[in-house]
A and B are shown apart, each in its own frame.
Chain A
Amino acid sequence: MRVRKAVALGAALTLTALVSACSSNSGSGSGSSTLNWWTWDDKQAAAYKVCATDFEKANPGVTVKITQYNVVDYFTKLTAGFVAGKAPDAFQNSVQFFPQYADQHQLLPLDDYIKKDKFDLSRFSVGVDSWKYTDGHQYGLPLDWAATGLYYNTDMLTKAGYTTKDVQSLNWNPDNGGTIGKMIAHLTLDTKGRRGDQPGFDKANIKTYGFGQLAAKDFLGQSTWSSFVSTTGWRLGNKANWPTQLNYNDPRLVKTMDWIRTLVAKGYAPKIGTFTNTVSDVDLLSSGKVAMETGGSWTASTYAKIPTVKVGIAPTVLGPDNKTRAVFSNSNGNTIWAGTKNPDLAWKWVSYMGSEACQTKASATGTFFPSIPASMDASAKALKAQGVDLSVFTDMLKNKELYPSPDFRNGAALQDAIEPLIEGYFGGQKNDSVFADMQAKTKTILTQK
């Protein structure tokens, strides 16, 4: 009998917990002064809490709730939220998905608010146009910007006989690789300690690759081939925004891809699939598997924290003319859900996030680069005090070496169609003719409604 009583008690307790959990939930959910904001970036979730606290202080009775989902789940959850009518009031958004959401009328146009508040969009140095849609409406404010740079293992560089000055102005061309081509060969080490440009070098047993992953399926090439080919004047789209085709069949890109294949064939850079997708740039460089690589500006502060490896940052390569540098830059945006019950409050929060006060505070940890120049300067200063030099990236911004990623439709479909082809090319199953196929595919997908 005792057992039965215990079971009954347990069941009763579970039910009580269930009921109380349900009731507490319905109580807090209907509160109108709770503002939900979502991001996929765990670091930004932590960074913007500072702004949320200030915002709550300035607006008594308002609670800002920041929620983070990892990027794989983020857009699934967002779509489920749209369907269920429970999407967040405002959220971080990616250029790749924004046209689709705007077409589905899930995003609130911000033009009226911008006009009413006389919100000055020129305060942002990058990213404003990325958030303007083909219907002429501004749907988002830029939250950040990102570029790429060359990250290198300082010890390996010194051991190979280079100084950190040598990496600051490397040039490149698709024919012989330029000065960076020579450096990549020399930085590569086989397991017996022979360098890539020395006789007897064994390309089958590599200890350290001279350069990180270039043969990757990434269809934008942001942290792989883009900063190389862009120096030749090549651009991804046939128009700066809303292109009708992507220029994969341009001879300049084809030549660049061929150069990457020879680099891999010589053992200077890893083959596609040598490292899995979950191995990040940071993992590669800090484990000593690669001596140098192209990496996102967003990892600069992470490299600085690796205790045993010293990582230096250099600008990306100069082109065949030895003076052009061009780096693909993108900006995530802050958008408001069309179905929010509190559009005014959501705008208040979004526009506060787009203010110098908030951006300066939130970016102090260096986990993202603010789009407002004054905040960027403050962030760079704060990080310099921690030993992280961001001048490589701020110089690119000042020297106008950045060009914005184009806005395009059907980003997800494009990615699904193009990536297997690039994978096939680098995997050796496809030859140069694949690029014509790729270009034709982009034409079909980009013009689809």
Chain B
Amino acid sequence: MAVTVAPGPAAVPRRPTRNTARRFSPGRAVAWTYLGAIVLVTLFPFYWILRTALSNNYQLATNPSSPLPVGFTWGAFERVLGIASTAEAQAQGGSGATLDIAIYLRNSLIYASVQTALIVLLSAAAAYAFSRLHWRGRDLVFNILISALMVPSVFTLLPNFVLAKDLGLINTFAGLILPGGLFQAFALFFLRQFMLGLSTEVEEAAIIDGAGPLRIFFRIILPMTSAPIATVSLLMFVNAWNDYFWPLLIADDQSVQPLTLALGVFKQSSPQAAPDWAGLMAAALIAALPMLLLFLAFGKRIVNSIGFSGLK
């Protein structure tokens, strides 16, 4: 049954309000074109990664500039996820390397999250001490700690490695996590700057109410510092997740190796050998996926944190 809608009262022509006016102007067109171009340039590499990941590795080079996957296959993803058999992987130009991705994912999660938790807890505690306690030589000690920011991490690799070896921490999570987790100059500096700005009156009120230093720290200071803590956590988590060289030195087998290391098998295996490009790209995508999810969930916060800290 057709319903005819009775014409209503004569529609009042809507007066254009200032905010919704979308009149065409050359400036706006240029701005949009520019924005569009930037977005395209930014996203294109991701598309290219995906396109390569969905290609057959043997066919890939026969049509290197094809915008679509060459010889479409899910094979590369199957190789990375460890569900392709060695023979299948080799037939598609893979190495025959297989991965038990669940274990590596678990390791990466443990590594990144425990390290982040450690950094946040220890840096916040230290930052609180440096911002509140007064003692002779405090600034000197603080400056010495902060000068660690100027030491390139390559310099500390070997001493750390030898120390880890002497402590028997090679190939353990403790060895993996502790060197980066116990001290991060940046996190300390960053949190201290923020805590210096917190008013002491709240703490004094708490002291009158009978709160001790630990209680003040956990119940008052930490909640008040939650925004910068979130920033530091995100940055440190991303750092740890992407870390490659330290795990390479310290982790020997799949019981502790993080994902980044495991995916290294898809890199060029030997000089002059053709790398498994498709596998490498699929691996890169999968390794980046958790970061992508993190960004989707906390995008605003990450953008804020970059603006906040000036770090990427």
Q: CB within 8 Å of B: which residues of A?
A: 11, 14, 17-18, 21-22, 24-26, 28-29, 40-43, 45-46, 49, 65, 67-73, 76-77, 80-81, 83-86, 223, 278, 280-284, 286-288, 296, 298-299, 302, 305-309, 365
- In order of increasing CB-CB distance, the 9 nearest A-B pairs are A42-B95, A46-B96, A282-B274, A280-B274, A25-B255, A286-B61, A283-B61, A70-B267, A42-B269
Judging by beta carbons under 8 Å apart, are A21 and B173 in contact? yes
Q: Are A41 and B61 in contact (CB under 8 A)?
A: no
Q: Which residues of A contact B256 (CB under 8 A)?
A: 21, 25
Tell me if A305 and B110 are in contact (CB < 8 A): no
Q: Is B226 an interface residue (CB 8 A)?
A: no
B239 at the interface (CB under 8 A from A): no
13 chain-A/chain-B pairs, Cβ below 8 angstroms:
A14-B113, A21-B106, A41-B269, A72-B267, A73-B264, A83-B165, A84-B170, A86-B252, A280-B273, A281-B272, A281-B274, A298-B273, A305-B93
- Pick from A28, A42, A70, A287: contact of B62, CB below 8 A: A287
Task: Judge if B174 is at the interface, Cβ distance under 8 Å.
Answer: yes
Report if B180 contacts A (CB, 8 A): no
**When the two chains form their complex, are residues A46 and B97 in contact, meaning their CB atoms are under 8 A apart?**
yes
Smallest CB–CB gap between B222 and chain A, Å? 13
By the criterion CB–CB under 8 Å, are B275 and A40 in contact? Answer: no
In chain A, what residue has the closest Cβ to B98? A46
Nearest residue, chain B, Cβ from A29: B171
Smallest CB separation, B73 vs chain A (Å): 12
Contact (Cβ within 8 A) A223 B272: yes
| A287 neighbours in B (Cβ, 8 Å) | 61-64
Contact flags B159-184 to A (C-beta < 8 A → 1, else 0): 00110010000111110000000000
Query: Which residues of chain A come closer than 8 Å to B114, judged between CB atoms?
Result: 14, 18
Residues in B neighbouring A72, C-beta threshold 8 A: 267-268
A88 CB → nearest B CB, Å: 9
List the A side residues contacting B268 at CB < 8 Å: 70-72, 278
Residues of A contacting B196 with CB < 8 Å? none
Is there contact, CB below 8 Å, between B265 and A42?
yes
Q: Which residues on B sit within 8 Å (CB–CB) of A24? A: 255
Residues from chain A with a CB closer than 8 A to the CB of B62 are 286-288, 306-309
Docked complex Cα distance between A287 and B70 (Å): 12
User: Given the known A-B contacts A80-B161, A83-B161, are A68 and B97 also in contact in the complex, defined by CB atoms under 8 Å?
Assistant: yes
Judge whether B270 is part of the interface by a CB distance below 8 angstroms. Answer: yes
Write out the residue numbers on chain A whose beta carbons fall within 8 Å of the beta carbon of B162: 83
Establish whether residues A18 and B61, one from each chain, have CB atoms under 8 Å apart when the complex forms.
no
Q: Is B249 an interface residue (CB 8 A)?
A: yes
Chain B residues positioned under 8 Å from A49 (CB to CB):
86
B255 touches A17 (CB 8 A): no
Partner of B248, one of A73, A84, A308: A73
Query: Which residue from chain B places its CB closest to the CB of A308 in the assembled complex?
Result: B62
Q: Give the chain A neighbours of B56 by CB distance below 8 A.
A: 307
Q: Is residue B72 within 8 Å, beta carbon to beta carbon, of the partner chain?
A: no
Distance to closest chain A CB from B65 (angstroms)? 9
- Interface status of B90 (Cβ within 8 A of chain A): yes
For the complex formed, measure the closest distance between the CB of A26 and the CB atoms of chain B, giving whole angstroms.
Answer: 8
Contacts of B96 in A (CB 8 A): 42-43, 45-46
Q: For A14, what are the chain B residues with a Cβ–Cβ distance below 8 Å?
A: 109-110, 113-114
Interface centre among A14, A24, A46, A83 (most CB of B within 10 A): A46
Q: How many Å lie between the Cα of A281 and that of B255 in the bound state?
A: 36
Identity of the chain A residue whose Cβ is nearest the Cβ of B174 in the assembled complex? A22
Contact of B270 with A41 in the complex, beta carbons under 8 Å: yes
Contact of B171 among A25, A73, A286, A302 (CB under 8 A): A25
Quote the shortest CB–CB distance from B237 to chain A (angstroms): 13
Interface flag for B59 (CB, 8 Å): yes
**A25-B255, A70-B265, A84-B165 given as contacts; is B173 within 8 A of A43 (CB)?**
no
Could you say which residues of chain B place their CB within 8 Å of the CB of A278? 268, 275
* Complex: A306 Cα to B269 Cα, angstroms: 19
Q: Which residues of A contact B172 (CB under 8 A)?
A: 22, 25-26
Contact A70 B269, beta carbon cutoff 8 Å: yes
Contacts of B248 in A (CB 8 A): 73, 76-77, 80
Residues B137-167 near A (CB distance < 8 A): 161-162, 165
Residues of B within 8 A of A86 (CB): 170-171, 252
With the chains together, A311 CA to B265 CA distance in Å? 27
Q: Using Cβ atoms and an 8 Å threshold, which residues of chain B touch A18?
A: 110, 114, 173
- A43-B269, A70-B268, A77-B249 are contacts. A307–B110 as well, Cβ < 8 Å? no
A40 contacts B64, C-beta separation under 8 Å: no
Cβ of A68 and Cβ of B93 under 8 Å apart? no
Residues B171 and A71 in contact, CB atoms below 8 Å apart: no
**B201 is an interface residue with CB less than 8 A from chain A:** no
Q: Are B170 and A70 neighbours in the complex by a CB distance under 8 Å?
A: no
Contact B64 A299 (CB under 8 A): no
On whether the beta carbons of A306 and B106 are closer than 8 Å, the reply is no
Name which of A29, A41, A70 has the most chain B CB atoms within 10 A of its CB: A70
Q: How far is the CA of A11 from the CA of B113 in the complex (A)?
A: 9
Given A308-B59, A308-B62, CB of A28 within 8 Å of CB of B252? no
Known: A21-B256, A299-B274. A69 touches B64 (CB 8 A): no
B165 A306 Cβ-Cβ under 8 A: no
CA distance A309 to B90 in the complex (A): 18
Min CB–CB distance B169 → chain A (angstroms): 10
* Cβ-closest chain A residue relative to B59: A307
CA distance A145 to B109 in the complex (A): 42
Smallest CB gap from B111: residue in A: A18
- Rounded to whole Å, the gap between the CB of B288 and the closest CB of chain A is 19
Q: Does B186 contact A (CB under 8 A)?
A: no
**Alpha-carbon distance A416/B144, docked complex (angstroms):** 37
Q: Which of B18-49 contact A (CB under 8 A)?
A: none
A68→B267 CA distance, assembly (Å): 11
**CB-defined contacts of A286 to chain B, threshold 8 Å:** 61-62
Query: Is B209 among interface residues, defined by CB-CB distance under 8 A?
Result: no
* Given A25-B172, A72-B268, A307-B56, 12 further pairs, Cβ under 8 A: A17-B106, A18-B173, A25-B253, A29-B171, A43-B96, A46-B90, A68-B97, A76-B249, A81-B252, A287-B64, A306-B62, A309-B62
Q: Does B71 contact A (CB under 8 A)?
A: yes
Is B271 an interface residue, CB under 8 A from the partner?
Answer: yes
Question: In whole angstroms, what is the CA distance A18 to B265 when docked?
Answer: 25
